[in-house]
Structure 1
């Protein structure tokens, strides 16, 4: 196991641009399962034969969900406007030949189109106060195929970070298995380019290669597959290996 420690960075933003607590402890694990061989795809299920890549461990960030068990729901939009995004996350057990992990609890949360988080605000970390609302946060339980699906909006961005989604995976009994983050593909023709940063545009945007969470992801295991368009909406898919 290799752990990488990142320096903390705190950027105080203008109105509707939250500051970033960018400390990250990354865990890059590769295990050799007995039996089957899994072939990896973009999103980082595994790379190569007889290996299974564990999703890197990342910080929960400065805005984790305060009471995740209270938000068991598949539609986490909660009134926020933006391009529709369906989030499909498959959780596999890296301790069992990357078999689908059924019954796991999966929490996700991300910022809105303007870069703000619910449950926080009114301070230097985020000037806009959304402390009393709970948009873009939710929990689902994986099915027999290890899959959870959420209906959300395409995340916006804020200073110091690339567009991302936070994920926390627990066992059925509530034991924490993995805290990680999902990155988005970049460049011409991608969903990120199509959305174009919503009204704020992309001036000042931090791309994955410069993001202090994703910059060392040279294999792209944290980058999801994102398809669709601004008319019909987008679909994100990623497979996350966790040691269970």
Structure 2
């Protein structure tokens, strides 16, 4: 009887072990970088009431060096390309997605050739644009949480899909969120119409393979983009941040 009870206990332990291990794995894997940004956030980064917190992403290797110096809505400078109107709405994930007025929104992106201003002359970007500041700007959200920029459709560079960087601050200058905006891809999209400008789409990295957007299975970071190469394009997206 003692041997029978002993064997029975082994069976019970073997069955229970995977359950315990899976529970530990779920607890550790479900934690999101956004889960601690606001008391109303859930483990998957979405806030109560269906307000999904914008994922936190890297500023990348080309962040704006003096963002407060570039308060402007038209960030085109001397860059040529298809016109792009960018509309970004900032919502408060801590207050049922209420519009955030008075927030400072910085954006930056590459030009048609895939180059950034304020950088260059190195292996990462051979063309030297260290002394210019094109395609960078700051605007303050209105009563509806909206900022609008005039720019050109971004090009692309090796290893990344088409994207725009965004940094949101509150009115006092405290950082609230660093994130990135992705573009819809495939037949009939603006990305397909622009076709990588003169570079074409050979060796282009699509969202599903991009090291920033590949885990965005819900498409939270993908904007709505309309328009054409004749009239220009319009991008719109709502970003929820813990404000």
Is the TM value for this pair above 0.5?
Answer: yes
Q: CA deviation at 1:28?
A: 5.4
In structure 1, stretches of 5+ residues that fail to align are 5-26, 33-49
SS of the equivalent of 2:68 reads: helix
Alpha-carbon displacement from aligned partner over 1:148-196 (angstroms, at most 9, x marks no partner): 0000000000000000000000000000000000000000000000000
1:78 aligned residue: 77
CA distance in 2, matches of 1:3, 1:173: 23
CA distance in 2, matches of 1:162, 1:81: 20
Summarize the Cα distance change of 1:3–1:173 in structure 2 as closer, same or farther, 3 Å threshold: closer
CA distance in 2, matches of 1:219, 1:3: 17
SS of the equivalent of 2:79 reads: coil
CA distance in 1, matches of 2:171, 2:44: 24
Choose between structure 1 and 2: higher strand proportion.
Answer: 1
Choose between structure 1 and 2: higher helix proportion.
Answer: 2
Kept in 2, the 8 Å contact 1:191–1:228? The answer is: yes
1:233 aligned residue: 232
2:46 aligned residue: 30
Summarize the Cα distance change of 1:28–1:136 in structure 2 as closer, same or farther, 3 Å threshold: farther
Establish whether residue 197 from structure 1 lines up as the match of residue 196 from structure 2. Answer: yes
Kept in 2, the 8 Å contact 1:28–1:55? The answer is: no
CA distance in 2, matches of 1:52, 1:237: 17
CA distance in 2, matches of 1:171, 1:188: 38
Q: TM-score, normalised by structure 1?
A: 0.83
SS of the equivalent of 1:121 reads: coil
**Over the residues paired in the alignment, what is the CA RMSD in angstroms?**
1.2
Kept in 2, the 8 Å contact 1:28–1:57? The answer is: no
Superposition misfits of 4+ residues, deviation over 4 angstroms: none
Which structure: larger Rg? 2
Q: CA deviation at 1:3?
A: 3.8
2:212 aligned residue: 213
Q: TM-score, normalised by structure 2?
A: 0.83
CA distance in 2, matches of 1:93, 1:200: 39
Summarize the alignment of residues 1-244 of structure 1 with structure 2, pairs less than 5 Å apart.
Answer: 1-3=31-33, 29-32=45-48, 50-244=49-243
SS of the equivalent of 1:227 reads: strand
Aligned length: 205
CA distance in 2, matches of 1:156, 1:180: 19
CA distance in 2, matches of 1:156, 1:191: 12
In structure 2, stretches of 5+ residues that fail to align are 1-30, 35-42
Q: CA deviation at 1:29?
A: 1.5
SS of the equivalent of 2:198 reads: helix
1:19 aligned residue: none
CA distance in 1, matches of 2:190, 2:96: 32
